């Protein structure tokens, strides 16, 4: 057993916003109580560097850019620059979404007294983050993933990477029994966000991004998020459109073609998992809630995982992408597939997959 690999810092190492299994209740209880013990709130405005146009826009910088000379920045794939983390809007979104996810599991699975406190905190966190007149995030995202050093901020098609945690919110709150006024207000917010994703220049660019035959993880995250938000607004339309997209745009691509863009990068294992995450989310959305995806979808996912087993680490991949961690992640996807096929009833994995377990 390798003991120097840190355990995941949160339970969503692999994003899966449609929980269908009962979590470890002891662990869940501990995590819920930790959240409830504080009065922490989240907002894109709670940042040392907010958007200069309007602080309520989510503002972020592309993380792989480095200043080589004053005012001269260059991209270095896979090498994250901590200076680019100064805008904290994306971090605030991820913390809010993760806490709402955990608390919603608390609503579903813990005793009534804790369940009620979870629901109260969920509604407060969502109100502050999305709807507060002073600090609520605007539904449009024109200033996410800006290139550092530009005179005026301008978002890029990679905005979807910065806001991908929104899909956790649009999925999990369907299970949270929100108050009708809050639910109505959030539906309005997500409706405006979907309109922007479909009609803005950045949204159109992300949807059709073509670094390879399919694009890359940008296009996959875009469609996973789009159909996730749509499932909150109109689940029947989401199922129809996501299945059509999967069968027409993804299924014809052989696995080496599907992963081509990610394999050409400096961390192919990391980006393989980053490609599989939205693919499995999208697959889950192709069928009505509680039903398994179409057999054609499942067969294709099997082929993707078989190919992923053969991928070797890239030149700068470190211990978090070594065999132990990488194959543990692939094992999680295989377990998800087994549940869909009816061969397994739980997503729980052996905690010995790496030191500290999944959680």
Residue 212 banded pLDDT, cuts 50, 70, 90:
low
> Could you tell me the pTM of the whole model?
0.89
DSSP label at 248? I
Model confidence pLDDT, tens digit, residues 333-354: 898 899 899 987 766 654 444 4
User: Closest Cα to residue 184, out of 119, 139, 124, 232?
Assistant: 232
| pLDDT for 352 | 44
From residue 355, give the alpha-carbon distance in Å to each of 27, 157, 164, 328. 16, 37, 28, 11
User: Is the pLDDT confidence value at 12 over 80?
Assistant: no
- Answer yes or no: is 281 within a domain: no
| pLDDT for 23 | 67
- Answer yes or no: is 237 within a domain: no
- Answer yes or no: is 193 within a domain: yes
- Answer yes or no: is 67 within a domain: yes
Contact 63, 47 (CB under 8 A): no
| pLDDT for 359 | 38
| pLDDT for 3 | 36
Burial class of 202 by CB neighbour count within 10 A (0 to 12, 13 to 18, 19+): buried
- Answer yes or no: is 184 within a domain: yes
DSSP for 187-227 reads HHHHHHHHHHHHHSHHHHHHHT--SSSS--HHHHHHHHHHH
From residue 30, give the alpha-carbon distance in Å to each of 62, 103, 357. 35, 11, 16
Count of structural domains, the chain: 1
C-alpha 79/C-alpha 63 separation (Å) is 8
User: Is the pLDDT confidence value at 319 over 50?
Assistant: yes
Model confidence pLDDT, tens digit, residues 165-207: 999 899 888 888 899 999 999 999 999 999 999 999 999 999 9
Residue 105 banded pLDDT, cuts 50, 70, 90:
confident
User: Is the pLDDT confidence value at 282 over 90?
Assistant: yes
Candidate from 61-65, 296-300, 303-307 with smallest mean pLDDT: 61-65
- Answer yes or no: is 139 within a domain: yes
In sequence order, the 6+-apart residues with CB closer than 8 A to the CB of 46 are 88, 92, 135
Of residues 358 and 295, which shows the higher confidence score? 295
- Answer yes or no: is 294 within a domain: no
Query: What is the extent of the structural domain holding 160?
Result: 39-207
Model confidence pLDDT, tens digit, residues 125-155: 999 999 999 999 999 999 998 877 777 889 9
Model confidence pLDDT, tens digit, residues 25-59: 887 888 899 999 999 999 999 998 899 999 999 99
- Answer yes or no: is 225 within a domain: no
DSSP label at 56? T
């Amino acid at each position: 057993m390798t003991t120097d690999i840190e355990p995941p810092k949160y339970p969503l190492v692999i994003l899966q916003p449609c929980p269908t299994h009962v979590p470890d209740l002891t662990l869940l209880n501990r995590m819920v109580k930790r959240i409830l013990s504080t009065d922490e709130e989240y907002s894109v405005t709670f940042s040392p560097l907010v958007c200069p146009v309007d602080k309520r826009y989510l503002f972020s910088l592309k993380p792989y850019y480095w200043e080589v000379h004053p005012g001269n920045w260059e991209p270095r794939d896979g090498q994250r620059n901590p200076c680019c983390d100064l805008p904290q809007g994306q971090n605030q979104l991820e913390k809010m979404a993760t806490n709402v996810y955990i608390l919603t599991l608390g609503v579903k699975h813990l005793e009534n007294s804790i369940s009620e406190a979870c629901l109260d905190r969920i509604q407060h966190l969502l109100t502050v983050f999305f709807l507060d007149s002073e600090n609520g995030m605007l539904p449009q995202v024109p200033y996410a993933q800006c290139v550092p050093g530009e005179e005026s901020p301008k978002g890029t098609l990679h905005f979807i990477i910065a806001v991908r945690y929104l899909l956790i919110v649009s999925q999990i709150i369907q299970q949270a029994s929100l108050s009708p006024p809050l639910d109505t207000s959030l539906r309005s917010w997500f409706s405006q966000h979907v309109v922007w994703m479909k009609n803005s220049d950045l949204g159109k660019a992300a949807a059709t991004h073509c670094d390879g035959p399919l694009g890359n993880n940008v296009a996959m995250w875009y469609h996973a998020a789009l159909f996730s938000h749509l499932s909150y607004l109109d689940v029947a339309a989401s199922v129809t459109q996501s299945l059509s997209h999967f069968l027409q745009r993804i299924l014809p691509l052989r696995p080496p073609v599907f992963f081509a863009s990610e394999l050409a990068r400096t961390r192919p294992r990391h980006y393989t998992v980053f490609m599989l995450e939205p693919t499995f989310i999208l697959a889950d959305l192709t069928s009505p809630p509680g039903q398994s995806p179409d057999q054609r979808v499942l067969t294709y996912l099997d082929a993707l995982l078989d190919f992923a087993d053969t991928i070797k680490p890239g030149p700068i991949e470190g211990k978090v992408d070594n065999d132990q961690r990488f194959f543990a992640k692939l094992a999680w996807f295989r377990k998800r597939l087994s549940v869909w096929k009816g061969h397994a009833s739980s997503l729980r994995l052996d905690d010995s997959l790496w030191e500290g377990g999944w959680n």
